[in-house]
Copies of this chain bind each other. A is one copy, B any other.
Amino acid sequence: MDRLRVDLPGLKMKNPVMPASGCFGFGKEYAQFFNLNELGAIAIKATTPEPRFGNPTPRVAETKAGMLNAIGLQNPGLAGVIEKELPRFNDYDVPILANIAGSTMTDYIEVAARLSTEKNVHALELNISCPNVKQGGIAFGTVPETAAELTREVKAVSQVPVYVKLSPNVSDIVAMAKAVEHAGADGLSMINTLLGMRIDVKTRQPILANTYGGLSGPAIKPVALRMIHQVSQQVDIPIIGMGGIQSAQDVIEFLLAGASCVAVGTANFVDPYTCPTIIDELPQWLDELEMNTVTEIIGGSWKRCKTHSLSH
């Protein structure tokens, strides 16, 4: 299955498909459905220094072709993740992308320094864009200078490559991407959720206890594709593409836009077999497109000529 292989900083992926952070817990739930070794990689749920309870419920709401979430970064904290969650991956041969978050720069640095020394962590994903955390997060995600500074600080302490997960709630995504690339990011993850809301017309109140939440699912796919298309032409680091992916055809669209691999979030809730199904179907799509390998497709919508390997 070497046709599907993608080699990215820290992530030697058998195929270009990983579940997205926050949509796959720490893997054990979906391990009941299929062998996690089938996956290209796994992005685990955000880790913060201390355990967090997160936001009050309701935490999810449905929207047309999408959903809103305001989980609020609930997680067992750095110690909990290291002691209870990461050891489970000892039995697997799949690279782990550890999503990290916090309210202050110190939080990120603390988690990055410690988590990046764990043998089951192959790369970090800086969640600078969680729209559900009142302080912290959002400011990092919308100001290029702050995002760059955070990236630099985390890179200084991390033992593994660092991907920065960009927020789509910005005027100029290219400026954000260039700023963190310049600050040393090894890759980008995009996109996180769009900030949205729903109102219950009966109670007249927001459905989410947190008022606003992150919009994910097929509804946001066109925005994700546009941003990846814009950014991939302007940076030299690889992009983990995500936002509404449901099918192998969607994956091809993301690769053509310029993503080097993809993450699947919301679709896992709809069909727990989404990732393995996509992985199964990809070779057939390569045949149809008359492509030998996945890497040939990357950026195909804007590259002049076929590239035979991923230069970055």
Interface residues, chain A, with chain B CB atoms under 8 Å away: 63-66, 68, 142, 169-172, 194-199, 201, 204-206, 211-212, 215, 218-223, 225-226, 229, 244, 249, 252-253, 256-257, 285, 289, 300-301
Contact = CB atoms under 8 A, between A and B. Distances in A.
Given A204-B301, A205-B301, 6 more contacts: A65-B65, A142-B172, A197-B257, A198-B222, A201-B249, A219-B222
Given A64-B244, A66-B222, A215-B222, A199 B257 contact: yes
How many copies of this chain does one complex carry?
A: 2
Contacts of A249: 201
Contacts of A285: 201
Contacts of A65: 64-66, 218-219
A173 to B, nearest CB: 9
A226 B197 contact: yes
Nearest to A63: B222
B63 A199 contact: no
Given A169-B171, A218-B65, A229 B201 contact: no
B253 A225 contact: no
A199 B66 contact: no
Contacts of A211: 229
Nearest to A256: B199
A199 B253 contact: yes
A201 B64 contact: no
Contacts of A196: 222-223, 225-226
A288 to B, nearest CB: 9
A194 B223 contact: yes
Contact of A199 (B172, B201, B220, B301): B301
